Structure 1
Amino acid sequence: MNNNMFQGEIDPELAALLGVSSNKGDSSASKPNYSELFGTEDIEAPDQIEVDLTQNSFPEITKPYASIPLTVFSDPDYYKKALSGEGDIAQRVHTILQKFLTTKDPKDRGVYRQQLTTAYWDFLLGIARKTPGKMPDYKRFLLRFGILHPGLLASEDRELFSKIIVENELNQPIFYLDEWFKAIGTGVIKNSTTDEVRIAKNNEATRLKQLLEKAEGRRDAARNLLKAKSDERAAYEKALIDAVQIISQHSPIPGFPDLQSMYTDVQKRAFLDIQELLKNMAKADRELDTFLRDFNQAQADVQTLEDKVREAGADVAVDIKAIDTEFDSVRQMVKLTIGRQGNHFPILIKEYFHSGPNEIATRENVIKQLAWIESIDPEAFCRSYKNKLNRIVPYVILVPSYGEYGICWEPFDRFNRATSRGRIAIPMYPKSLSFAILSAVGDLRWQTAKEKASYYWMEEGLTGNYYQWFTSKKLKGDVKEYFIQDYIIWMTKESDAIQKLEKEVRAIFWRYIPFSQVIKDKLKGRSYVYQELYQRDINRSLSDGY
């Protein structure tokens, strides 16, 4: 690669583009005034992806990559444009990058690498703050993919990135980093939970927003119950129509072709079925009326609180502090996806990038993997509320890192346990994308079950039974990490009848992380082990304790 663009002191032209002085002693160049970054007309609040409780699957991916490539990565001025207007920190990134690329001493290279990592994250914060506005593609893709300079990648890799689909055409809650910060900054999505952040009790605007989130959760749950009851009544009505059709079908009386025969025993039994159906329909209709009143009241509460939020000024267009707070959370997410011994270098370069087209965590590849997981573990993204199982896909944040592990940041919003989305982070450049996503979903599974069990998480349900097995084996270490590894085995091996788990763990997973019925039916014929577990399901379904 040609390193001439990084050599020597920064030239006046580049200095002007960077918004700094070419004089090394001149430190008068100020940082951008972020409070004045956006005119009202420049703010682009993204559409909120509502939780649709009627959606029961992921869309099929028919176009994993775009047919027409972007030209932005072939622009010779990409690097200059990406750094332009970012102040002194951009000059620092440029200077350290130059040293990192040209040094021959491995020890010096390690020092520059660490310095570049620190400076680059400081530089990225300035980019993240600008996401609510109309961001140029150079800065957008720098934040999204970690592409500081296309020349740091091989030509075939640049071509690959140029074909990644830019927009969220499938309307799934999967976000690249620039999209995520925009949603946070414009208030479409609230900040990720952190232990460090505490809300002042006298902060009325924040209190109102929390009340609004709870009210929205109640409204969404009421809407789901309303839909379920409407579907139940429709099922009774269809059964009634079928029963009437059975009753109204007659064959001619032998010898009397113009006369229809009497009711058969089957038709007479249909009379009793119809009576029961009419009772059920009347009951469902009464409950539907009650649920509709509940929904209307919940909707009115939401409207009232929305008005109060606007009056309190809590719906400001851009919240830079929210972006700053979220930036710290995202940086922690990145560290967790990498682990202590992983590669923490934040810039995409060919030396470290080895992912193929199917292993990059693009939005489309992630959707395919999530759909595959759900085909095996159909309740992976389900939570129970008022005895109704709701499918709620978590927010998925795609972070540009060389990490190996996906992580769950939070299983759901503590202010809206009914319908809020959890949050998982997926590294974009792992060695194995399926492993990264499975580890995130396993983490989500554990945290959701633990929060549901609350104080009894070591005694009840999925976490309780697994924890008791863990302690009985006198195992050391983090019980959640053991669980995630076993979950990956459950999904990749046991689902294909390859017995790798302990007998007790297999029984726990069979009950609390059930396979799809298709897989269960397949497994019961493959081994007595699974046949026995299958029979336990039948026995439990016949008992009151199931």
Structure 2
Amino acid sequence: MADQNSDTENIFAGLVESEEATITFGDDEDSQLLEAKEHPAGSNETGDSQAPPDFSDLFDEERPVEMSAAPDFSSALDQVEDEKFSTFEKLLTDKPQPIFKNKNYYKILLNGEGESAKHVHSMLGNFLKADDPQDRTMHRGRLTPAYWDFAASVASKVTRKLPVPKILLLRFGILLPTAISAEQRMLISRIPYKTSCDEPVYYADEWLKAVAFGRVSASATDETKMPSKNKGAKVSAMLDKARGRYDAQIQVVKNYVSEMQTQERIMKEQVELLLRHQPMNRYDNLPAPYDDAQKNGLSELNSNIRRLNNLNRQLSTAYKELDSVSDQLEKLRREENDQDDDAAADTQAVGEEMNTVRQMAKLCVGRQGNHFPMLLKQYFIPNIRDIGTKENVVNTLAEVEALDPDVFKRTFKQQTNRIVPNIILIPCYGDTGICWEPFERHNRATSRGRLAIPVFPKDLRVAVISALGDLRWQVAKEKAQHYWMEEGLTGWYYQDFSDKKRKGDVKDAFIQDYILWITKESEGTQKMERDVRSIFWRYVPFPQNVKDKLKNRGFVYNELYKKDQNRAISDGY
């Protein structure tokens, strides 16, 4: 192995400029955290006392999803409306992490990956040394599959504490640090790796690790899968179902509480009416008997009391059911936390999920996009707001939800919940985000589903909006089922699409209109066709404050606003 490392070092030295190939550590304490030694052949990278530092020194490790306690019912009735994202004001750390200062960075990355490392190293050398454009294109095409094979080899070890270079390969596609400029390296080294994020947003390495330990289920594919023997995955599936029952039962309790509060408010008004007696002037203003309205109130009070008794019994039964579901949920949570991570890791699931991540990257890039997987300096601008970090993505999601407040709301059996999907940040140059699945097939009520967002898009805001547009379409289509061409949002849009004989895929057209709806129409810039705007106004509505602003921005919006008022009056909205 020592001879192989020596050969690797000699070959690599000729591939890059000498001043960049000799990156060294600084003298500060932070720099010393990342100093690493070479490993002997066949050794465990994390078992040696001279192994690379724990990833937890610089990065957050994946944590199980914590189940919150039962909500306070005094304020729970408006919980769905009050939920929103916690945005980030700080996008970069003040001090950069010394993650690129190890001169053995490249060797640490290749070490322990066997034939896939040799192959990708050979293909990378041919690509970098090629001067002729045709030869460079040929070697570029050969490097791409070699890169993905190497990344799959690295991904199979995510259950261990990987060295930083391997994490950065999965997270940002950094195969060769000198392939990006010093300015770009500085930017990446300042991206917060210990982000305190309560939202289900994952970098690729974090997502693969979560799948390996069964904390999230593997993404659905068209291929038929064998039943999983991973106990962690089974417990995770049972936990998801238990959360679904818990959320559904919480909504049942909320409904009973809401109805009881309504009845109590009516009774309070009726009692206040009973207490108001007219004075009898003839007899020193003594209180008069009940009048007809008060007599009717007495009869209604009797009915309300019977109704409250029934509601009280139903609420008591609902709370008992909630206690049972909550106990089962707590039991599953303890079972998940007590599992031994190494024993629970499902390496086969990681391999399959890595293939899915590769497919997600292809869809994000599109047919005509840049499918080269390795991060190169000419392919991204060193501006933090253009990179799909957790902070930027969460901030953008908050902006879109402020304009489309129903985007994460899902109604199932007359119960509405706000469900933010799992969001996977894919290291690619994709132009658009995608919705891989709107929800899991076995839990349509409360499962998160998943979106894929490219880390290095041309326009991050457009990439996030396109993913949410895809989510909007798929949720509406699943809701309408086999009537999706006739009913609801998809039905109205499909009929308009067909009547005007528009070309292309109807979903792609919807996503492009959704982008215009959020980016242009929300500001009063009319870019959509009249009929399409009317469909979006009703089925993808802006919040009332935006509508109030738009009604003064032109005749078109004023007419739509008046239609809203007419529907409200006729109770047909």
C-alpha distance in 2 between matches for 1:324 and 1:241: 63
Q: Deviations over 1:170-226 (max 9, x none)?
A: 221000011000100000000001011334599999888756643432222212433
Q: Tell me which of 327, 351, 367 is aligned to 1:340.
A: 367
Amino acid at match of 1:95: S
C-alpha distance in 2 between matches for 1:308 and 1:61: 34
Are positions 1:328 and 2:355 aligned together? Answer: yes
Are positions 1:111 and 2:138 aligned together? Answer: yes
- Is the contact between residue 433 and residue 465 of structure 2 (CA under 8 Å) also seen in structure 1? yes
Amino acid at match of 2:99: V
Q: What is the TM-score when the length of structure 2 is the normalising length?
A: 0.78
* Counterpart position of 2:201: 174
Are positions 1:47 and 2:69 aligned together? Answer: no
* Counterpart position of 1:462: 489
* Counterpart position of 2:501: 474
Q: Classify 1:206/1:354 alpha carbon distance in 2 versus 1 (closer, same or farther; 3 Å).
A: closer
Are positions 1:293 and 2:320 aligned together? Answer: yes
C-alpha distance in 2 between matches for 1:378 and 1:390: 12
Q: Classify 1:123/1:238 alpha carbon distance in 2 versus 1 (closer, same or farther; 3 Å).
A: farther
Q: Tell me which of 386, 389, 392 is aligned to 1:362.
A: 389
Q: Deviations over 1:22-74 (max 9, x none)?
A: xxxxxxx9999xxxxxxxxx9x7622265997561000212222222211122
* Counterpart position of 2:473: 446
C-alpha distance in 2 between matches for 1:201 and 1:142: 28
Q: Classify 1:427/1:125 alpha carbon distance in 2 versus 1 (closer, same or farther; 3 Å).
A: same
C-alpha distance in 2 between matches for 1:300 and 1:232: 26
Q: How far 1:287 sits from its partner (Å)? A: 4.0
Q: How far 1:231 sits from its partner (Å)? A: 6.2
- Is the contact between residue 214 and residue 232 of structure 2 (CA under 8 Å) also seen in structure 1? no
* Counterpart position of 1:61: 88
Q: How far 1:423 sits from its partner (Å)? A: 0.6
C-alpha distance in 2 between matches for 1:77 and 1:205: 36
- Is the contact between residue 19 and residue 86 of structure 1 (CA under 8 Å) also seen in structure 2? no
Amino acid at match of 2:93: A
* Counterpart position of 1:25: none
SS of residue paired to 1:384: strand
C-alpha distance in 2 between matches for 1:122 and 1:327: 10
Judge which range, 167-176 or 73-82, deviates more: 73-82
SS of residue paired to 2:549: helix
Q: Classify 1:246/1:148 alpha carbon distance in 2 versus 1 (closer, same or farther; 3 Å).
A: farther
* Counterpart position of 1:433: 460
- Is the contact between residue 202 and residue 390 of structure 2 (CA under 8 Å) also seen in structure 1? yes
Are positions 1:390 and 2:396 aligned together? Answer: no
Are positions 1:499 and 2:526 aligned together? Answer: yes
C-alpha distance in 2 between matches for 1:349 and 1:478: 33
Q: Deviations over 1:322-358 (max 9, x none)?
A: 1011111110000000011111111111021225111
C-alpha distance in 2 between matches for 1:176 and 1:519: 33
* Counterpart position of 2:428: 401
Are positions 1:219 and 2:246 aligned together? Answer: yes
Q: How far 1:235 sits from its partner (Å)? A: 7.7
Amino acid at match of 1:6: F
Are positions 1:318 and 2:324 aligned together? Answer: no
C-alpha distance in 2 between matches for 1:376 and 1:310: 38
Q: How far 1:108 sits from its partner (Å)? A: 1.2
Judge which range, 502-511 or 287-296, deviates more: 287-296
Task: For 1:117-266, list aligned pairs within 5 A.
Answer: 117-199=144-226, 213-227=240-254, 229-230=256-257
C-alpha distance in 2 between matches for 1:94 and 1:203: 34
Q: CA RMSD in A?
A: 4.3
SS of residue paired to 1:122: helix
Are positions 1:410 and 2:444 aligned together? Answer: no
Q: Deviations over 1:501-541 (max 9, x none)?
A: 12221111111101011111111222232222223223333
What is the count of residue pairs matched by the alignment? 516
Q: Tell me which of 9, 12, 26 is aligned to 1:6.
A: 12
C-alpha distance in 1 between matches for 2:411 and 2:459: 31
- Is the contact between residue 243 and residue 329 of structure 2 (CA under 8 Å) also seen in structure 1? yes
- Is the contact between residue 159 and residue 342 of structure 2 (CA under 8 Å) also seen in structure 1? no
Q: Tell me which of 109, 127, 142 is aligned to 1:82.
A: 109
SS of residue paired to 2:222: coil
Q: How far 1:118 sits from its partner (Å)? A: 0.8
- Is the contact between residue 6 and residue 97 of structure 1 (CA under 8 Å) also seen in structure 2? no
* Counterpart position of 1:536: 563
C-alpha distance in 2 between matches for 1:204 and 1:357: 40
Q: Tell me which of 501, 507, 513 is aligned to 2:540.
A: 513
SS of residue paired to 2:553: coil
C-alpha distance in 2 between matches for 1:444 and 1:496: 23
Amino acid at match of 1:325: E
- Is the contact between residue 91 and residue 384 of structure 2 (CA under 8 Å) also seen in structure 1? no
C-alpha distance in 2 between matches for 1:202 and 1:96: 37
Q: Classify 1:237/1:150 alpha carbon distance in 2 versus 1 (closer, same or farther; 3 Å).
A: farther
Q: Classify 1:155/1:300 alpha carbon distance in 2 versus 1 (closer, same or farther; 3 Å).
A: same
C-alpha distance in 2 between matches for 1:111 and 1:6: 20
Amino acid at match of 1:356: N
C-alpha distance in 2 between matches for 1:89 and 1:430: 28
Are positions 1:70 and 2:76 aligned together? Answer: no
Judge which range, 161-170 or 225-234, deviates more: 225-234
Q: Where does structure 1 lack aligned partners over 5 or more consecutive residues?
A: 10-15, 21-28, 33-41, 250-258
C-alpha distance in 2 between matches for 1:360 and 1:448: 28
Q: How far 1:387 sits from its partner (Å)? A: 2.1
SS of residue paired to 1:74: coil
- Is the contact between residue 217 and residue 418 of structure 1 (CA under 8 Å) also seen in structure 2? yes
C-alpha distance in 1 between matches for 2:127 and 2:86: 43
Q: Deviations over 1:232-284 (max 9, x none)?
A: 656877898899999999xxxxxxxxx9x99xx9xx99x89x95987886665
Q: Classify 1:509/1:351 alpha carbon distance in 2 versus 1 (closer, same or farther; 3 Å).
A: same
Q: Classify 1:4/1:493 alpha carbon distance in 2 versus 1 (closer, same or farther; 3 Å).
A: farther
Q: Where does structure 2 lack aligned partners over 5 or more consecutive residues?
A: 1-8, 16-36, 46-55, 72-78, 277-284
Q: Deviations over 1:137-195 (max 9, x none)?
A: 22112211112222221111111111111124022100001100010000000000101
SS of residue paired to 1:532: helix
Q: How far 1:7 sits from its partner (Å)? A: 4.3
C-alpha distance in 2 between matches for 1:67 and 1:229: 51
- Is the contact between residue 152 and residue 350 of structure 1 (CA under 8 Å) also seen in structure 2? yes
SS of residue paired to 2:100: helix
C-alpha distance in 2 between matches for 1:332 and 1:50: 31
Percentage identity across paired residues of the two chains: 45
